[in-house]
Amino acid sequence: MGLIYALLAVLVLIFLNVLLGVAIALKDGSFSLPKLPRSLETEVLPYGLSLTALAGAAQLNFSYLASNVSTITADTLAVIAWAAIGAYVLKMLQEIGQKICALFGIKVTETKGSAAIRLLVILVAVVAMVVVFRLIC
């Protein structure tokens, strides 16, 4: 059930990302209603549907295939779904942060250690996902 809640959180992040993009376009005066479906085509459909398919497949019962295939397949799909959702959440948080900075005119400069910090954050997020997955399963 935790996987479904994570998927819902991703869908909320996608919605927030689209809203921030619309707000930036309105602020810049470049908003065009015919361009709005393009964000749905490039953001919501490919990522939202693929993550939903992974999470849904992880919930299926594969016991009709063989006795021990059910557990192995469902657990493997759950791990893949958690990894995909975690990676996409990191991507969305970065995009949302950039859009918030652009919306309020905040300038962020890159430093030499920023790549190492980004890598450390990703590693901590992966470890946290593994711990959460172990607690749930």
Which range has the worst mean pLDDT, 42-51, 85-94, 118-127? 118-127
The pLDDT, as a whole number, for residue 112 is 66
**Nearest Cα residue to 91 out of 46, 55, 56, 54:** 46
| pLDDT more than 70, % of the chain | 72
Residue-range definition of the domain harbouring residue 107: 2-136
**Residue 9, C-beta contacts closer than 8 angstroms, at least 6 positions apart:** 89
Burial 63-76 (b: 16+ CB within 10 A, else e): eeeeeeeeeebbee
H or E element in which residue 85 lies: helix 69-104
pLDDT digits (tens, 9 = 90+) for 41-79: 887 788 888 888 888 888 876 666 665 555 567 777 888
Q: What is the DSSP letter of 34?
A: G
**Total domains present in the chain:** 1
Query: Distance between CA atoms of 115 and 34, rounded to whole angstroms?
Result: 37
